[in-house]
A and B are shown apart, each in its own frame.
Chain A
Amino acid sequence: MSRPADTHTDAKLLRVEHLKTHFFTRKGVVKAVDDVGFTLDRGQIMGLVGESGAGKSITGFSILRLIDEPGRIVSGRILFEGENLLEKSEKEMYRIRGNRIAMVFQDPQTSLDPVFTIGYQIVEGIAAHRPMARGEARRRAVGLLQQVGIPSPDERLSDYPHQFSGGMRQRVGISIAMSAAPALIIADEPSTALDVTVQAQVLTLMRKLVREQDAAMILITHDIALVGQFCDAIAVMYAGRMVEKGPKEALIRTPLHPYTIGLIDSIPGRQAPRKRLRQIRGMMPNLLNLPPGCPFKPRCDRADDGCHRQPDLVEVAPGRAVACWKVEAS
């Protein structure tokens, strides 16, 4: 696999190389993430797009080394601030998680503990990484809640999660993630559980905080239109592999991989109303039973005999890479 951006050894915040995370189940090996690589700069927001089962969440969890049995990171390197996370001890990872790399989860309802107050949970997060007096931690918590736009934060600290609305709970989740001023935030479908008007507010806030703190963010979502609004770069995953990546504008305006083209074409609202939508036929193959060669071959209109070999992600233009034999040939 050629990774164009690697040629000069600059100080990328995150560099993932040849990452393979496989799950060894009784039915066989599920290659949930198979040879994925990308880089991320400070201040950059990357959207990781794909359907469910494409491996986007597992990629996120792999960076934090939160892969449980029967899954295992089989090979690859995850260079974060120049150090390979896969070589760290569990104790070192404990200090990195939540401190240098934070996570925002999909459902704020389940990621907050219902029996503790919001204040307790934020203070717990702050104190876990930096020992400080309770009073000071509490003052920081108020500041954090203010930053994420929760009105009268001083009083809300003693409220329980159920007393917050969905959007407010997600703001609390963001404030906890931001509490240690992390360099990298992994947001796994942070707005999927929210209404559209709230989604726009929450993502605007996240984008602002990431820019202000010069952090970087990986936004994992299935919604390519959403990624277009809030990200700088986009990577598209399909059946455990990265099929296309590039700067937002270029990737959305001129998608190259047939899957990305199909994904963008099948969004309603851009085509003649009340007419049939262009659709991708079939569905994503079972990861236990992948077709040989290009995983998209069975659904691809352009596939021919040349596609029985697996294509690598190849740079086709500066910053743009595609894993498709047909694109490479042209």
Chain B
Amino acid sequence: MGSGEPVGSTGVPLIGNTIVRNLADKGGGIYLATRKTPGGPVAAMRNCIVTDARRGGGVQMEPDVRMYLWYTDVFANAGGDYVGLPNQTGLNGNLSVNPRYADLAGGDYHLKSQAGRWVPGSGTWVKDDETSLCIDAGDPASPFDREPPPNGGRVNMGADGNTEEASKSFTGMMLGHVPASGQTNMSTKTAVMITFRWTVQEGSVEQRFPLTPAGGSPVPGRFAWGRANRAVTFIPTKPLQGLTPYTVTLAKNVQRLDGTVLDWSESFSFTTGASAFGALAVTATAGQTASGGAAITVDLSSAANVAVTVLNVGGASWPNCRVRSAIGPQHSALGWSVSSGHSGAARSLPDADHGPRRRRPAEPGAGGRQPGTLTALEPAARAAMGGCSGRNPARAARSTKWS
């Protein structure tokens, strides 16, 4: 494996192919054979999707072969995604996510998109209820000009990347929101904050904003506007029900300040925890950082002003652990565990030892990060984690469900 451009390569590179449901004893998706010619070239692959091999793995190569792999999704291949080479997920833009084909069984490998997907043979576009993470996930340096708008300014992975049939980039009206989609254990006292892509008319939003518990009626509350009509916070007048799924909906016909009517609706859901404090959920994923430490995500979104200390088994602090939001000492007794085999205990420390108490401002265009997220990952690696807690917030926004 190499990370740079191949030098002297004469193997024709694979760019933007969808390689799916193939089968072999070795290399169900792709196999790089031993060179018979000394000093032979290398292979290179970029912007491809390699999934669902029925046998033999996704990518397999012999030891004397070199291969360069960029911005490629390798996922769900029987026999392993990578055989004979290290897992490339998270490196050089490579992913391992479900590409969300239009119809895997039926052989339609166009990527699902809430903004529009080409339907072969019909000459039409349809909108899906979800958006593939492979859209706009190709090499930023690759051309994308043939993709129909909105194309996100970045090429899609797979066979339709930079073609007229490329699935469209989803640009919903919600640039970001808190809670995040699918978030659990939310405080029953949580508010809902939405950042819009455009400036919007307040009334058109407030009239189309139900926060509804499963099987219940919309929750009453008030709206607080900010950021020049690009952000709104909905504050319920009374605590939400515990352990209950809630759905936030922005119904169609929200209007932008310039008068444009947004003729679609968007929604997302979250679930409350047992109390106003929610619950602490701690997960750790091994092997995700270059420094060798474990990445830990602590979901503290419902617990403000809490401090945490992370210890390994030997008692020393993880050196690359940074606290983004602290919890107070009154919650340290809740206890937590690390899923990667480590164990530890949270203990209260003076606030000064663990960074500022304030929330980190939302990143421009990212829709705000999840409050209380604790991570040790660098941005590139975080993005590479895809659907995990460290994924790119912009990607998370794309998984917002439409109706």
Do A and B interact with each other, yes or no?
no
A-side interface residues toward B, CB under 8 Å?
none
